[in-house]
Amino acid sequence: MIIRQMTCKSFGYIAILFVVVIISFFVIMDILKYCFGIDPTKNELEKIRKRKRTKKIIKRKPIIQKFIYVNTLQQQSSTNEEAINV
Protein backbone atom coordinates (compact mmCIF):
# COMPACT_ATOMS: atom_id res chain seq x y z
CA MET A 1 0.00 0.00 0.00
CA ILE A 2 2.84 2.37 0.85
CA ILE A 3 4.61 1.60 -2.45
CA ARG A 4 1.42 2.30 -4.36
CA GLN A 5 1.01 5.68 -2.66
CA MET A 6 4.61 6.61 -3.42
CA THR A 7 4.27 5.69 -7.10
CA CYS A 8 1.02 7.65 -7.40
CA LYS A 9 2.67 10.72 -5.85
CA SER A 10 5.71 10.43 -8.10
CA PHE A 11 3.54 10.09 -11.23
CA GLY A 12 1.52 13.09 -10.03
CA TYR A 13 4.66 15.18 -9.58
CA ILE A 14 5.95 14.16 -13.02
CA ALA A 15 2.58 15.01 -14.64
CA ILE A 16 2.46 18.41 -12.93
CA LEU A 17 6.05 19.12 -13.95
CA PHE A 18 5.27 18.12 -17.56
CA VAL A 19 2.25 20.46 -17.70
CA VAL A 20 4.26 23.34 -16.21
CA VAL A 21 7.06 22.83 -18.76
CA ILE A 22 4.59 22.89 -21.69
CA ILE A 23 2.82 26.01 -20.43
CA SER A 24 6.12 27.79 -19.78
CA PHE A 25 7.26 26.91 -23.33
CA PHE A 26 4.23 28.66 -24.83
CA VAL A 27 4.58 31.65 -22.51
CA ILE A 28 8.28 32.04 -23.38
CA MET A 29 7.51 31.81 -27.13
CA ASP A 30 4.83 34.51 -26.77
CA ILE A 31 7.20 36.76 -24.81
CA LEU A 32 9.89 36.35 -27.46
CA LYS A 33 7.47 37.11 -30.28
CA TYR A 34 5.44 40.01 -28.91
CA CYS A 35 7.84 41.71 -26.47
CA PHE A 36 11.20 41.30 -28.22
CA GLY A 37 10.08 40.86 -31.82
CA ILE A 38 11.89 37.53 -32.19
CA ASP A 39 9.87 35.00 -34.18
CA PRO A 40 11.55 31.58 -34.20
CA THR A 41 8.96 30.14 -36.62
CA LYS A 42 9.27 32.91 -39.22
CA ASN A 43 11.21 30.83 -41.77
CA GLU A 44 8.78 27.92 -41.55
CA LEU A 45 5.77 30.20 -42.01
CA GLU A 46 7.34 31.76 -45.09
CA LYS A 47 7.95 28.32 -46.61
CA ILE A 48 4.33 27.34 -46.02
CA ARG A 49 3.08 30.60 -47.60
CA LYS A 50 5.28 30.08 -50.67
CA ARG A 51 3.90 26.57 -51.13
CA LYS A 52 0.34 27.88 -50.94
CA ARG A 53 1.10 30.60 -53.50
CA THR A 54 2.58 28.13 -55.97
CA LYS A 55 -0.43 25.83 -55.56
CA LYS A 56 -2.75 28.75 -56.33
CA ILE A 57 -0.72 29.65 -59.41
CA ILE A 58 -0.70 26.07 -60.66
CA LYS A 59 -4.46 25.72 -60.19
CA ARG A 60 -6.10 27.39 -63.15
CA LYS A 61 -9.75 27.83 -63.79
CA PRO A 62 -11.20 25.57 -66.43
CA ILE A 63 -11.64 27.11 -69.84
CA ILE A 64 -15.16 26.85 -71.20
CA GLN A 65 -15.20 26.43 -74.96
CA LYS A 66 -18.14 26.74 -77.27
CA PHE A 67 -17.72 24.58 -80.33
CA ILE A 68 -18.54 26.07 -83.71
CA TYR A 69 -19.54 23.36 -86.13
CA VAL A 70 -18.59 23.76 -89.76
CA ASN A 71 -21.58 21.98 -91.23
CA THR A 72 -24.62 23.12 -89.31
CA LEU A 73 -28.09 21.73 -89.93
CA GLN A 74 -29.19 24.68 -92.11
CA GLN A 75 -26.12 24.44 -94.30
CA GLN A 76 -26.55 20.68 -94.70
CA SER A 77 -30.20 21.01 -95.72
CA SER A 78 -29.38 23.72 -98.29
CA THR A 79 -26.61 21.57 -99.80
CA ASN A 80 -29.00 18.59 -99.98
CA GLU A 81 -31.64 20.71 -101.78
CA GLU A 82 -29.02 21.91 -104.27
CA ALA A 83 -27.97 18.32 -104.91
CA ILE A 84 -31.58 17.26 -105.50
CA ASN A 85 -32.25 20.20 -107.83
CA VAL A 86 -29.19 19.46 -109.95
What stretch of H or E contains 18?
helix 2-30
Cα 66 to Cα 69, 70, 80: the distances in Å are 10, 13, 26
pLDDT digits (tens, 9 = 90+) for 17-40: 999 999 999 999 889 888 888 887
CA angle at residue 82 from 69 to 84, to 5 degrees?
Answer: 120
| Whole-prediction pTM | 0.48
Exposed/middle/buried for 29, CB within 10 Å: 0-12, 13-18, 19+? middle
| CA contacts within 13 A on the Cβ side of 26 | 5
pLDDT tens per residue across span 44-77:
889 988 888 877 666 667 778 888 777 666 655 5
